[in-house]
Amino acid sequence: MDFAFTHEHEELRQTVRRFMENESSEATVRTLMETEPGYDRRTWERMASELSLLGLMVPERHGGAGLGPVELAIAMEEMGRVLFCGPYLASAVLATGALLHGADEAAQRKLLPAIASGKSIATVAVTEAAGKWDLASVAMRATRVGSEWKLSGVKDYVLDGHLADALIVAAKADDGLALFQVEANASGLERHALPTLDLTRKMARLNFSSTPATRISAGEATGALKQVMALGVTMLAAEQVGGAQRCLEMSTEYAKTRLQFGRPIGSFQAIKHKCADMLVETEFARSAAYHAAFAIADGEDGFEAAHLAKSYCSESYFHAAAENIQIHGGMGFTWEHPAHLYFKRARASSILFGDPSEHRLQLANILEL
Amino acid sequence: MAQREISEEDLRKRVRALLEEAHPDKVDQFTFRGKLYDYGLAWVHFPEGFGGLGVSPGMQAVIADELSKHAKTHYDDMMINAIGIGMGAPTVLTHGTDWMRKTLLRRIFTGEDIWCQLFSEPGSGSDVAGLATRATREGDYWTVNGQKVWTSLAHVSKWGMLLARTNPDAPKHAGMSYFLLDMQSPGVEVRPLHQITGEAEFNEVFLTDVKIPADRLMGREGEGWKVAITTLMNERTAIGGGGPTRRGAGSIGVLINLWKSREQGQFSPDAEILLRDRITKLYIEAELLRMTTQRGKAARKAGNPGPEGSVVKLAQAELNKRIWECAMDVMGADSLIYEPGYKRRRPTSRAREGRNSLTKYQFLRARANSIEGGTSEVMRNILGERVLGLPGEPRSDKDVPWKQIPRSA
């Protein structure tokens, strides 16, 4: 592993950063987070048409950019910096990953071009009442009625499930866990947007009662969904790096200019050393996320690297976001200041797809500790 | 230093010519290293006549490669004279007199003259520039009085790099001068300094009316700090660019082996869960330290060095202490026993000691990690000020004559 970022990687980063700074300002984030859909349609379409971001990992033959996990991680990191509001993790990462790893050619041909062009937003529904991406405990049943499949049960904490045009649902069929595609307007499907702790990332509860579905995985989908999870947590870790870096920058900028006792608070070691520790943790988090992205790009299953990255990046982002509030003092505790937006994103993303101790447990199992 | 062009093939030819004259499988290391120096292959980036050829330092790898192709014996360990080679030579080259360059550099490289560094004092640790050892000019000599501490290799050294105060009325950075001290001079007394391990890796050096000829000054009088910076800049490379490069190597590997070889029933199931999570956490950080070191190297190679290098020293020191603390916990009651006892000796090889006694030794030794080469507190200041650009502390010792600055007794 040599962390070899190319000139093209740097250009991609600069392009995404410029775009995000213009399209996802704090004011925009605050406006969007108060709306139910939680994203801006026009920005979403430009992400497809101008930057090819929505189909970054979609193969060229399906209308995408044909790039890989390293490029995707760069994009996620930049989105994390600005708390970008939109169904990117759901559609461009999880759903795209599920289609690439677990779906048959017909489903790929149908859905991937629409995802890449922005015509269709997709998400993956695995989690149920426990809120865990625990494949063994999936309770939703899929039953075959003649040539049609019907799904019944509840999917909870589904990222952007209230607005997705295509739902990719994990359910138990007679031959094991399988993937199904459900249309947004299918009969027997009820969708409830949830009031989320992190207003910048939307979730929904989905009730299925004999909802018609198309089976898109040929066989047992557990292996494919594990791959999707490794990809998902790696990309979430990259997003966390971007957020942590921004918290560090906010803290240092403030510490340079805020005067108390006649001098900048950053000249006090109590504050300076907090910033130094945040720097160390952010650099470690960066190594963890990049390492996981390169591991998957190199064709490894990436489980070990992904567990490592998710546990470390979750904790370091939360620490950076919490210290950012502390360094800003009373101001950092106000609604007007953006510190709480990062704090809530950090907290929610730490729990999403498994908390740090859960991932450490998985890692310990792999290492046979 | 002007760099000139020399082709890789020319360099390889030069190595082969050297091997014909003095092959390391046949001659002793002093002879061989002397020839390396004479051929300009010691430090290729040094000027011709001073152990180099004035070419890019990257070419050194070509020499190592060619040597390893033709010789079984390798006299390439800079530990033969770590401080002399790592820090002394660049300082002599940059600030030494002609006599020093002609006389000293070759013997530094061969290892015939061991060097030590006389900077730290009991009253100036992190604040080296506050040092109190006095040098007073008397005719053609300087007379030195004071005490130095944490001096590795002083007991075997021929030369010491001495930083002393020559003008107590100047502000502290402006009142120092840099001397080359013959360690055999009358009045130099070296005593072993025993650490918490009982061993003496370092020395105390007492200087009582030591006479140094005036031409042993390096740099100009009062400009000692500038010369010291050259020495200190090379300290990190001399000590080695920290961090294991192999997965699971180093202290974390020892901890994991200890954990895996624990006795059945040594810990309750609840304790196992807690310890396992703690060890996994340490493993994660050890891996990230390794990766961050690698990422720093890759970034430097690509020409955009970032903050990766600066975070490694702090992170490694703090992590290493926690790893050895955990190892003691895994050993449980066995960690109460310190076998084979505290040996009040100078350290040599520890290869023959058992794993458990070595771990206990490392647990004690690791306390120094966050003190030596810059305390963790100083490292956090450096990260805060130089990397993040935060303002410095207000200073009460800046533009004041050194003698007016309060000092510990």
Q: What percent of chain A has pLDDT over 70?
A: 100
A269 with B380: Cβ contact below 8 A: yes
Q: For B285, which residue in chain A has the nearest alpha carbon?
A: A284
What is the chain B residue with the closest CA to A271? B384
Strand blocks (E) in chain A: 122-125, 141-145, 148-159, 166-173, 176-183, 189-193, 203-215, 259-260, 263-264
Q: Closest by alpha carbon to A84, among A21, A161, A15, A14? A: A21
**Count of A–B CB contacts within 8 Å?**
123
- B292 and A312 within 8 Å at the Cβ level: the answer is no
Distance CA B133, CA B161 (A): 13
Q: In this structure, what DSSP letter does residue B263 have?
A: P
Quick one: three-class SS letters along B4-44?
CCCCHHHHHHHHHHHHHHCCCCCCCHHHHHHHHHHCCCCCC
Judge: B393–A2 Cβ closer than 8 Å, yes or no: no
- Interface subset of B 255-274, CB within 8 angstroms of A: 256, 259-260
3-state secondary structure B31-100: HHHHHHHHCCCCCCCCCECCCECCCCHHHHHHHHHHHHHHCCCCCCCHHHHHHHHHHHHHHHHHHCCHHH
CB A84 within 8 A of CB A14: no
Chain B residue numbers touching A263 (CB-CB < 8 A): 391, 394
Contact B140, B123 (CB under 8 A): no
Cβ contacts of A307 on chain B, cutoff 8 Å: none
> How much of chain A exceeds pLDDT 90, in percent?
95
Q: Do residues B63 and B44 make contact, with C-beta atoms less than 8 angstroms apart?
A: yes
| Å between A127 CA and nearest CA of chain B | 25
Pair of tokens at residue A87 = 């169904």
Cα torsion B275, B276, B281, B286: sign: positive
The closest alpha carbon to B233, from B94, B49, B103, belongs to B94
Residue pointed to by tokens 């014996």: B73
Going by C-alpha positions, the residue among B96, B104, B105, B13 that lies closest to residue B52 is B105
**B391 to A256: CB separation less than 8 angstroms, yes or no:** yes
Tokens 């865990």 identify what position? A132
CB contact under 8 A, A283 and B281: no
How far apart (Å, rounded) are the C-alpha atoms in residues B389 and A276?
11
Pick from B281, B311, B393: CB nearest A280: B311
Q: Pick the residue of A10, A287, A291, A359 with the most B CBs within 10 A to test the interface with B by mutation.
A: A287
Q: Which of B280, B377, B385 is nearest residue A364 as measured by Cβ atoms? A: B280
In degrees, to the nearest 5, what angle opens at C-alpha B115 toward C-alphas B24 and B63?
A: 35
Sequence length of chain A is 369
A315 to chain B: nearest residue by CA? B281
- Residue A90 predicted with pLDDT over 70: yes
What is the C-alpha to C-alpha distance for residues A168 and A216, in angstroms, rounded to an integer?
9
DSSP code at position A318: H
3-state secondary structure A219-235: CCCHHHHHHHHHHHHHH
> Which of B281, B311, B377 is the closest to A283 by Cβ?
B311
CB B58 within 8 A of CB B104: no
Could you tell me if B379 lies within 8 Å of chain A, comparing CB atoms?
yes
Enclosing H/E stretch for A216? none
Residue B345 exposed, middle or buried by CB count within 10 Å (0-12, 13-18, 19+): exposed
Q: At B330, list the tokens.
A: 């895994």
Residue with tokens 């590997």: B253
CA distance A159 to chain B (A): 29
**Cβ-based neighbours of B167, under 8 Å, separated by 6 or more:** B174, B175, B222, B402
| Cα–Cα distance, A222 to B40 (Å, whole number) | 63
pTM beyond 0.95:
no
Per-residue pLDDT of chain B (409 residues; tens, 9 = 90+): 455 678 899 999 999 999 999 998 889 999 999 999 999 999 999 999 999 999 988 888 899 899 989 988 888 777 889 899 999 999 999 999 999 999 999 999 999 999 999 999 999 999 999 999 999 999 999 999 999 999 999 999 999 999 999 999 999 999 999 999 999 999 999 999 999 999 999 999 999 999 999 999 999 999 999 999 999 887 755 444 455 567 888 899 999 999 999 999 999 999 999 999 999 999 999 999 999 999 988 887 777 777 887 799 999 999 999 999 999 999 999 999 998 889 888 876 665 567 788 899 999 999 999 998 889 999 999 999 999 999 999 988 988 999 999 988 7
Burial class (CB in 10 A: 0-12, 13-18, 19+), B2: exposed
The predicted complex's ipTM stands at 0.95
A207 backbone dihedrals φ, ψ, rounded to 5°: -100, 125
A283: closest chain B residue by CA: B308
Q: With contacts defined as CB-CB under 8 Å, which chain A residues touch B308?
A: 283, 287
For residue B383, list its beta bridge partners.
Answer: none
The pLDDT assigned to B241 comes to 46
CA-based angle B302:B307:B312, to the nearest 5? 105
CA distance A291 to chain B (A): 8
- B380 vs A273, A284, A290: nearest CB: A273
Nearest-CB residue to B307 (from A279, A290, A368):
A279
Q: Rounded to whole angstroms, how far apart are CA atoms B312 and B328?
A: 24
Question: To the nearest whole angstrom, how far is the Cα of A309 from the nearest Cα of chain B?
Answer: 9
Alpha carbon distance B238, B87 (integer Å) = 7
Catalytic residues of B: 235
Give how far Cα A262 sits from Cα of A40, A90, A296, B393, Å. 45, 49, 51, 12
**A298: distance to nearest CA of chain B, Å?**
16
The reply to whether residue B283 touches residue A367, judged by beta carbons under 8 angstroms, is yes
| pLDDT tens-digit readout, A241-276 | 999 999 999 999 999 999 999 999 999 999 999 999
- Both tokens of A69, joined, read 């996990």
B-chain CB neighbours of A286 within 8 Å are: 292, 295
Give the pLDDT score at B79.
Answer: 81
CA distance linking residue B269 with residue B3, whole number of Å: 65
Tokens of A48: 């497809």
Residue A124 β-bridge partners: A168
A280 touches chain B (CB under 8 A): yes
How confident is the prediction for chain A on average, in pLDDT?
96
- What is the chain A residue with the closest CA to B314? A280
Does residue B161 sit in helix, strand or coil?
strand
Q: Give the gap in angstroms from C-alpha A297 to the nearest C-alpha of chain B.
A: 17
How many degrees, rounded to 5, is the angle at CA B27 between CA B22 and CA B32? 55
Please state whether the peptide bond connecting residue B213 to the residue before it is cis, i.e. omega within 30 degrees of 0.
no
Alpha carbon separation from A126 to A40, A107, A214, A224, A303 (Å, rounded): 26, 18, 16, 12, 18
User: Helices H, strands E: what count in chain A?
Assistant: 12, 9
